[in-house]
Amino acid sequence: MTRSGDYYRALVSGQVRGFWPLLQRGGLCLASGPYGLAMRLRNWLYDQGWKRSRRVPVPVVSVGNLTLGGTGKTPCVEYVAGYYRQHDRRVAILSRGYAPSPLLPSPPGGEGLGVRGRNDEALVLEENLPDVPHLQGADRVALALTAVEELESEVLVLDDGFQHRRLARDLDVVLIDATEPWGHDYLFPRGLLRESPVGLRRAGIVLLTRCDQVETAERQRIQEAVARLAPGVPLVETMHRPTVLVNSEGEAPLQGLTERPVAAFCGIGNPEAFRRTLAALGARVCAFRTFPDHHPYTREDVQDLRQWARQQAPDCVVVTTQKDLVKLRLTQLGSRPLWALRIRLQVEAGQDVLERKLQEVLSTEC
């Protein structure tokens, strides 16, 4: 069965062809016009001072992107927050919050428990950064003031904040996914761009993610495009490095996937990047299922996945992403252990530049 999220990505990327998809793309292109006009007007109002950003008494670092999902913001937010924690600063993460997981009642034997009220990214960050509070809400100015006044935070990390200009920031970290850099070259809904790439000129630093998954020539083309769009803005090359297999019962080494058949599933913005990561670990991906980004798993989904897992070869390993596992809260699927990849951001080139930018933020402290 074709899932709506899969079809939409295939449609805007041009993978599906024929008269009807062509007509659909035409309709989406027409809808992109008003959306793009609204974004340009909004940015112009902020640039001209007609709309004002609210500044709070502590430094704010925004981590965001130009496209809809899939660039790997969560590992970057974790990296930035972890950097300031290592420098003994009290940090809080602010995000809008959306798509909380539905409650999945535990079946007999206690095999699963969903979590209500926190979305997947918040759950991953809370699991990986237990000493960093994460505040979610639509009014991020109010969240920032709460973090400063009640939690005595000294640095704030604004998750997915590049287009959220109401809260002033001291540094904009903008991520570009090397495997899908420009959202298929169209604004939403015809493509995946949230705003025109010229918006990169507002960035303080650009992080190119998943550099290990593209050829050197492609990285160079992206670097040249960034230099044209945002002259003088430094670019740092990074990769998402898997570090260990995890579930609620413990950890296992990544070597357990080498030359093993793997059945994988995910509900993330760039599922092909997950597939490529598994292949790079030496896994033989024999089955792969995708769900829409931030998919809220239902009881029916879990039952379907259990049946799917039972159909795989006896020695097959079932793997998902940490963002999916924190919503499912399962240790097994179809009597098979369920594992997730824990991913960290690793800087391949330009770490000194990135750390200098993060350190400069601290000089703005009052």
Q: Say if residue 164 is in the same domain as residue 16.
A: no
Predicted confidence at residue 129, as pLDDT, reads 93
Q: Is the C-alpha dihedral spanning 240, 241, 244, 245 positive or negative?
A: positive
- Whether 52 is covered by a domain: the verdict is no
At residue 3 the predicted structure's pLDDT band, cuts being 50, 70 and 90, is low
Quick one: which of 362, 361, 366, 364 has its CA closest to 171? 361
Same domain for 72 and 99, yes or no, is yes
Domain presence at residue 12:
yes
Task: Check whether 101 has a pLDDT greater than 70.
Answer: no
Q: In total, how many domains does the chain have?
A: 3
- Do 34 and 108 belong to one domain? no
44 pLDDT more than 60: yes
Please tell me whether residues 94 and 188 are part of one structural domain. Answer: yes
Q: Are residues 295 and 279 in the same domain?
A: yes
Tokens representing 82 are 């972890």
CA torsion 291-297-255-71 (nearest 10°) is: 50
Residue with tokens 């959202």: 183
> Are 226 and 118 in a shared domain?
yes
Domain co-membership, 246 together with 302:
yes
Per the structure block, which two tokens stand in for 345? 């951001």
How confident is the model at residue 335, as a pLDDT? 85
Q: Which two tokens stand for residue 132?
A: 């960093």
Instruction: Name the pLDDT band for 250 (thresholds 50, 70, 90).
Output: confident
Do 22 and 164 share a domain, yes or no?
Answer: no
Q: What residues form DSSP beta bridges with 352?
A: none
In this structure, the answer to whether residues 215 and 356 fall within a common structural domain is yes
Mean per-residue pLDDT of the chain:
90
pLDDT tens per residue, range 159-186: 999 999 999 999 999 999 999 999 999 9
DSSP conformational letter for 17: -
Percentage of the chain beyond pLDDT 90 is 78
> Average pLDDT in the 310-315 region?
92
Shared domain check, 279 and 248: yes
Give me the half-sphere count of Cα atoms (radius 13 Å) on the Cβ side of residue 8. Answer: 17
24 lies in which domain range?
4-47
Helix (H, G, I), strand (E, B) or coil at 164: coil
Q: Same structural domain for residues 257 and 135? A: no
SS (H, E, C) 110-144: CCECCCCCCCHHHHHHHHHCCCCCEEECCCHHHHH
Q: How many angstroms separate the CA atoms of 30 and 238, rounded?
A: 35
Give the pLDDT of residue 228: 97
Identify each DSSP E strand in the chain by its residue range. Answer: 60-65, 91-95, 134-136, 155-159, 171-177, 205-209, 235-247, 250-252, 261-266, 284-290, 317-321, 332-333, 336-349
pLDDT of residue 114 exceeding 80? no
- Which three-class secondary structure state does DSSP give residue 317? strand
| Mean pLDDT calculated for residue range 111-119 | 47
Q: What is the dihedral of CA 328, 331, 332, 337, to 10 degrees?
A: 130
3-class DSSP assignment, residue 106: coil
Do 90 and 42 belong to one domain?
A: no
CB 119 within 8 A of CB 129: no
DSSP assignments along 271-283, one per residue: HHHHHHHHHHTT-
DSSP, collapsed to helix, strand or coil, labels residue 226 as: helix
CA angle 273, 274, 279 (to 5 degrees): 95
Interatomic CA distance for residues 138 and 78, integer angstroms: 21
Closest CA to 159 of 132, 179, 181, 183: 132
pLDDT digits (tens, 9 = 90+) for 276-307: 999 999 999 999 999 988 888 999 999 999 99
